[in-house]
Structure 1
């Protein structure tokens, strides 16, 4: 919820995010610590330029500004970056006033937050907080574009495991901020039977049964490249299907075949279907029209450009 002191003033948000579920604070702290170690050297580290040219006693205010239109995410990490830098330097922690929230559409030139405190802390924290927030905002912006394109179709955009190592939680959070949906978080929470697993196990049925014996608590998804493979996976007991790299006519045929079997012979009343592979924004509605539930798009996290954000120190 935001408030403002008078008409025309910037909104003020009590918290930088309303995205659920939020990021684990302990995870944020670990990521920020690693990022600062990269930039400053092992704790406490140093910034030879800032600490030589800016007195430790100097204070100032800096604005976090959007340099282009998009959807912002990652503001939630800003206070942690400032707090850790302040502790390393033995200086006071800057105050942050948020004028936007994660998940909000922002415009070029919009002030997202104002940071006030020791100038050394502001300048040393700058690159780390921009790296994290810019990357997250780029993912959120990409997810929002897919979400808009799929509006009214009944299908949702999903992310994948094609994330930057170490930043998966942030990037999947950013997908949620952009209106997208998270698939499995890792290899531990959903079984995904792919062609190599089928080869190793001997058959689709053997692979599914092996998973059921070893991990009876998890759902089992099976990858299918053809309608016949999709039907075979259903008959073998798959919970839901990943329809990979199918041309639109084949995808529509496969969806129809699956829907015709729902509720019969042990098949669930509704089998969730996920289209993936060779998906582009201009094909989104065409693919959704086949009746799939999800479109999974690795590019949300592996190819989204950053959203250009800047930290501008106000003149004294």
Structure 2
């Protein structure tokens, strides 16, 4: 995840997550540690899988204190093993204590998605089939979850409603037919946007092809 993406699309989400966990102060930490104290912690893997979200993990601590230091021994996409040392974080112990849960929540969820994605991708090895994700993501987690899919070897479908034309059964019903829906989409949308049509049977496939659809999604059809 590049720095511009992080700064423009991720930082505010991380800050919201931190604010959710620290509404006024970390009472427990401030009670026992009123002043700066240097400390270092290790990030240890607890389960075999594919690691994802290391830069997000790091960014959480930097947003709390830009003087924090994080040293990685692996990178996103690496296969990791139970007990493996993944990283070391050093700096103000108060920051370590206040930020660790938020940082770990992102890292664990993203790694879980990357691991599961990688497992499914392995079933498709040797074929021409590519695994795509969905727009049905957890609210405010899309940028993280979509990234984790790519790290796991999957591919992103459209990112959001502005990303491309996706004509589903409700759109087709409103337009009167697949042919009308595709024509209306071509008239309205920029020519650089692909038009995808969701179909339920072979007759609809034929109509979508003849109407000029760029992509056809088979909805719950048998092999």
What is the TM-score normalised by the length of structure 2?
A: 0.95
Equivalent positions of 1:29-178 (< 5 A) are 29-41=11-23, 45-86=24-65, 93-178=67-152
Q: 25-34 or 67-76, which moves further after superposition? A: 25-34
Does the residue aligned with 1:222 lie in a helix, a strand or coil?
strand
Paired residues of 1:23 and 1:173 also in contact (CA < 8 A): no
What is the TM-score normalised by the length of structure 1?
A: 0.68
CA deviation profile, 1:222-246 (whole Å, cap 9, x unmatched): 1111111111111111111001111
Unaligned runs of 5+ in 2: none
Larger helix fraction of residues = 2
Equivalent positions of 1:104-253 (< 5 A) are 104-217=78-191, 218-248=193-223
In structure 1, distance between residues paired with 2:17 and 2:6: 17
In structure 2, distance between residues paired with 1:212 and 1:108: 51
- In structure 2, the residue matched to 1:270 is none
- Alpha carbon RMSD of aligned pairs, Å? 1.6
* 1:57 Cα deviation from its structure 2 partner: 2.0
CA deviation profile, 1:193-220 (whole Å, cap 9, x unmatched): 1110011011111111111111132110
In structure 2, distance between residues paired with 1:186 and 1:175: 15
* 1:56 Cα deviation from its structure 2 partner: 2.2
Does the residue aligned with 1:223 lie in a helix, a strand or coil?
strand
Paired residues of 1:71 and 1:103 also in contact (CA < 8 A): yes
In structure 1, distance between residues paired with 2:41 and 2:100: 10
Paired residues of 1:226 and 1:246 also in contact (CA < 8 A): yes
In structure 1, distance between residues paired with 2:183 and 2:135: 24
* 1:20 Cα deviation from its structure 2 partner: 8.0
